[in-house]
Amino acid sequence: MNTYELLVGARDVFARRGGVKNELEDDNGNVCALGAINVALTGKATWSWGGFSEDIYLFDEVSTLLTEAINGDIITYNNRSDVTKEDVLAVYDKAIAGLEEKA
């Protein structure tokens, strides 16, 4: 899996299960922006890697792209009460478009 594939996969997860604030995953299986990356990468919303893993680098690359797309912290943005699921999806879309422009 490469950065682009993970970003698109995480966006798809967020579209289906996104909208949670202040936690990676709620009791209903809904996820935040970072939880969606974890699900797309490992199948679980929680941090599941132990020790060195290439997954850490992919996760960091995608979370950085989301942060750069809003010129701010994606965690803080996701958790704001005025930010909707559609707003976070728009951040994913902006990050995806940015990678496509570079290709």
What pLDDT digit, counting tens, does each position of 13-44 carry? 999 999 999 999 999 999 999 999 999 998 99
- Collect contacts of 20-27 with beta carbons under 8 A, ≥24 apart: 21/78, 21/79, 21/80, 21/81, 22/79
Q: What are phi and psi of 48, to 5 degrees?
A: -125, 10
Condensed to tens digits (0 to 9), the pLDDT of residues 69-79 reads 999 999 999 99
- pLDDT band for position 51 (50/70/90)? low
Structure tokens given for 19: 């909208």
Neighbours of 84 (CB within 10 A): 12
pLDDT of residue 64 exceeding 90, the answer is yes
